[in-house]
Structures are given as structure tokens and as C-alpha cells.
Amino acid sequence: MDKNQYIVAFEIGSSKIVGAVAEKSPTGMVSVSHLVEERLSNCVRYGVVQNVENVKAAINRILKNIEDQVGGSIKYVYVGVAGRSLHSEVSEVNRGLDATKPISAEIISGIIRDASRNPIKNYETISVVPRTYVVDKNVTADPVGVVGSSIKIKANLIVAKPVIKQNLMRVFSFGIDVKDYIVTPLAVGENVLTDSERLGCMLVDLGAETTTVSIYKDGSLAYLATLPLGGRNITRDISNGLSVLEDTAERVKKNINNPLESSVDDIVIEGVNSSEAANFIAARNREIIANIKNQLNLAGMTADDIRSIVLIGGGAQLQGLGKKLEENTKLSVRMGHYPQSLNILNHNFNRPEYVEIFCLLAKAAADILPGETCIARRNYDDGFNVAGTRPKQPEPERKPKPVDEPQKRKKKSWWDKLRDKAADVFTEDDADDDQ
């Protein structure tokens, strides 16, 4: 019997939809075994599903593909939540306590639930992230077990326009249950950043149409915002400015060496002058960097409050972006990688554009309860086949061919032959009598 737990997660982005499977062994090892994606255009804008039916059809195809590969039926999935309106709002809750009893985990859970009920007009609360706990004016990292007469919790409400989650629910309204909606930037921050980085760091996820900026301070999330800018803005600038197709503009953008440097090799790529395209790339890049820097001001911080920047996302692969960000912010910049807690079974999956889906899988694997699984596997004696093919069944035992009747006869003795001859004589006489 297969004792592994199977986790299925979906990331629905502006340029692609990705479904992936991870296996969690009884020892806790998590391995990414399957990944399927579909590229869609104009069905998801700024991270928000626009064409529900087209996205639903794409997800159905991905689900069918995964089921065929793993040999089982998907019962439920985890879904990442992101999009243009996703951001953080500060919420504070004060509560009096019985000073004769230590604070319990149930009390903290109740206060956090109260924090989530603080309404933010026109927005829905997706998650609550505690920032600081103050017990009798003393800041504590973990209040459980502490004794005091009062507690104050300062938390970040992660909120978004209701349409984001509503359309996700419409997309999965065909019989597949959503086990949980996971805030993608939170999963990334939890699985990509190190403990020391969360003491003061800016996490930048530069996607196709949005850029999500998460700022961590003193070990917890301090600020989150989603900007309506991304790599596709650069592509469209080239497309519109030089009158070429968007697909051509995308390939030109990816094939210019150091497009952000002042001196660019003047070559022709698919009929496009590289120096002209580089002008559009550099101009839009300056705008994106300026908006990223401004998030520190909006968070009430300066560059002195953080130590580094971690870049992820498909748009972050633009040559020279990290270097320019370092020059403008005076902070060290590194590229984020997939969670080290995961084992990627197929090296083709190990690509920067899949960091988000890997983080969703890692978060879901950490949250899934013992005995739960997203996939009902078919019963194969030979177990799971990583390549996605069904195990070969043993061939039925072949029975020997029946022996022809003549071969079964024993060799007759002389006495048997004499008796048969006598019988033939009497038979002939009987036949003559009948005539």
C-alpha cells in the first residue's frame, strides 16, 4: 500500500497556469514529481481571472494530464492567491487577561480571529499575519505561557478585492474541492528567505503584469503591496514602439546582452535594432525600480531598516536587473531559489519561473494533516512510477496446449488387435442381416 501523501497545487498567473504534484513520504521528505503548465493570454489580467470559462477549461486539461500521469483521481487542491489588489493593512487588538493564569494558544487564536474581523472597506481579508505581541507593555516573540493582565497584538491583514477569490471559486466549481487558498507571497517569504534575511529584507516577485513587494523586519512581515507593473510592460513597450508583434518583442528582450547598460551591442535581432529596443527596456526598468524603492517610504522605512533584496519571478530574469537594483538602492541583491526543503525529481522543473508553485507545494506539505492526500491512487502492486507510466501487470500464466487425441492413445497389444478384428467380423455379419 502506498503510504505517501500527495499534494496538488495551482498557481494562476497572468501569463501561465501551473499545476504541480508533490509527494510527502512518511519520513517527511517532500519531492516534486509532476508539473504541467498552460500558457494563456488575456484570460488573467494583473493576477485576476477575467475569463472564467477559458481558465476553467485549462485547469481541467491540467488536472486530466496529471491524473493520467500519476494513475489516480484528484480529490482536492491547494490554490495560490495573488493579484493587483493584494496588500497588507495594520490591525491592532487589545484584550484584558486573567493575571493568575498563563496565556494559552487558544487565547492567541481567538485574538487573531478578532483581528481578522476588523473590516477594511471594499476588501476581503485573506489571511492574518501577527507582527508583535505586547504583554503588560513588554514585547515578546511568543506570548504562550506568559502571565499578564493585558495583551496587545499588532498584525497585518492580507486583504484583496473580493473578485480575486470569487473568480477563483468560480474556476474550481466543477467538483474539485479547494482544500485551502494560500497567499502566494506569504508562502514565498516563508520558504525562500532565510531566518537572518527576515530580520530586515525586501522580497520582490517580478511577474508578467504585477510586482509584489514584501518587506520583512524583526523576523516577521511588516508590509506587502502589489504593483501593476511587470515584465510584459517592457515587452509591450518594444512591441508598440517598434511596431513588431508581442512574441517577437519578447524574444528580442531576452536576447539582448546587458540591455540596461549605456553601451549595447548594435545588432539586429529578428529585424529589430537592439539599441533601439534597449532604450525602451531601460526606460521602463527605471520606472519599475523607482516604484520598488518607493515601497520603503510607503512602509515608513528607509534603506537602513533592511539589509538586502531577494528577487524572484520570470520578470526578474532580465539581464542586469539585479545590478541596477543594487546601484539604485545601495543594498545587496540576490536571486531567490526554490525551497531547499523540496527534492525536484525532474531537472527540467528547476527553473526560476516555477519558484512560486514550489513554495505553494512546500507550504501545503507543511500544513497537510497526517493521513490526508490530494490524490486517490489506483491500487498497483508495484507502487508508484515516477515517470508517470502505469506499472506493468504480471502476464497471466499460460496453460499448456491440449494434446491431440491420437497422441493420448496407448500402443495396442497383439491381444487387443485380435479382439478388434473379431468385433469387425461380427459387425459385418449383423449389417448383412439388416439388409
Residue 218 C-alpha cell reads as 524583526
Query: How large is the C-alpha radius of gyration of the chain?
Result: 34
Q: Which residue bears the cell 489506483?
A: 378
Q: How confident is the model at residue 2 (pLDDT cuts 50, 70, 90)?
A: low
Taken in order 203, 357, 169, 44, the sign of the CA dihedral is positive
Q: What is the pLDDT of residues 100-122, one digit of tens each?
A: 999 999 999 998 888 888 778 89
More confident residue, 266 or 386: 266
pLDDT score of 387 more than 60: no
Rounded to an integer, the average pLDDT of 15-29 is: 95
Taken in order 104, 367, 5, 178, the sign of the CA dihedral is positive
Biggest alpha carbon–alpha carbon distance for the chain:
131
Q: What is the pLDDT of residues 61-74, one digit of tens each?
A: 999 999 999 999 99
More confident residue, 183 or 40: 183
Burial annotation 389-407 (CB, 10 A radius, 16+ → b, else e)? eeeeeeeeeeeeeeeeeee
Q: What is the pLDDT of residues 140-185, one digit of tens each?
A: 989 999 999 999 999 999 999 999 999 999 999 877 899 999 999 9
What percent of the chain has pLDDT above 70?
Answer: 86
pLDDT score of 407 more than 70: no
Phi (first) and psi of residue 425, to 5 degrees: -60, -45
CA distance 174 to 406: 66
Identify the pLDDT of residue 413: 54
Identify the pLDDT of residue 405: 47
DSSP state of 370: T
CA distance 88 to 67: 37
Domain spans in the chain, listed from the N-terminal domain onward: 5-85+162-234+277-377, 87-160
CA distance 310 to 336: 6
CATH of 87-160 given 3.10.290.10, 3.90.25.10, 3.30.1490.110, 3.90.280.10: 3.30.1490.110
DSSP string, 388-421: SPPPPPPPPPPPPPPPPHHHHPPPPPHHHHHHHH
Rounded to an integer, the average pLDDT of 31-44 is: 93
Q: What is the pLDDT of residues 256-294, one digit of tens each?
A: 888 888 777 788 999 999 999 999 999 999 999 999 999
pLDDT score of 423 more than 70: no
Identify the pLDDT of residue 295: 97
Q: What is the pLDDT of residues 177-224, one digit of tens each?
A: 999 999 999 999 999 999 999 999 999 999 999 999 999 999 999 999
CATH of 5-85+162-234+277-377 given 1.10.3210.10, 3.40.50.620, 3.30.420.40, 2.40.50.140: 3.30.420.40
pLDDT score of 416 more than 90: no
Count of alpha carbons within 13 angstroms of residue 329, beta-carbon side: 32
C-alpha 214 chain-centroid distance: 18
CA distance 79 to 8: 9
Identify the pLDDT of residue 328: 93
Identify the pLDDT of residue 425: 42
Identify the pLDDT of residue 114: 86
CA distance 307 to 202: 8
Identify the pLDDT of residue 400: 53
Q: How confident is the model at residue 247 (pLDDT cuts 50, 70, 90)?
A: very high
pLDDT score of 419 more than 60: no
pLDDT score of 331 more than 90: yes
Rounded to an integer, the average pLDDT of 339-350 is: 90
CA distance 19 to 354: 10
Tally of CB atoms within 10 A around 374? 24
Identify the pLDDT of residue 379: 62
Choice among 110-124, 323-337, 385-399 with the minimum mean pLDDT: 385-399
More confident residue, 213 or 3: 213
Q: Taking all residues of the chain, what is their mean pLDDT, rounded to a whole number?
A: 87
